[in-house]
Amino acid sequence: MEKIPAGISPAELLKIAVDVEHNGEQLYAALEHRAMDERVRSIWHFLRAEEVRHREIFEEILDNLTEYVVVDNSPQEWELYMQAIAAEFIVTPQLIAQKIKEHFPTEIAAVEFGIALEKDSILAYGALRDRIVNAQQPVIDRIIREEKKHLVKLCQLKSYFNKER
């Protein structure tokens, strides 16, 4: 497992989030294009649009960082937590790009990858929320709620594929 840099900052995590959302958009677009089933295609389309919107929100936060990020009051605790969850998240943009090129062996494999991606995002964005000014936390809260909805959609899609077999 790749070790996360010891001094990762909220700004660095935001930059990674922008990359993850951008690459997620590309992944879901590729899956949408390859889907034969209209129901499946509509889910990939929805998720792609959500990734675009999330990326734009994270870019807005980065552009106005001083309005959003608070000074660390417990940096060591936050860094330890980030080391526990973010090593996977840091390599996620590269992994998504690789998966787009390679294709998935099955539709369920693509869905399972999406499930893992959403789970990693929920954990990382939850950690980011802890470093956001209280007045701005609803922005991150909304993204986390939406990521949870994406997770539910993907789990439902997995069930749909399992029932078809």
This prediction has a pTM of: 0.83
How do the domains of the chain map onto residue ranges? 10-164
Dist. CA 133–CA 88, nearest whole Å: 26
Q: Looking at residue 88, what is its pLDDT? A: 66
Task: Give pLDDT tens digits for 50-70.
Answer: 999 999 999 998 898 888 876
Given a cut of 60, whether residue 1 has pLDDT beyond it is no
Rounded-to-integer distance, Cα 14 and Cα 31, Å: 25
**Superfamily designation of domain 10-164:** Ferritin, core subunit, four-helix bundle (1.20.1260.10)
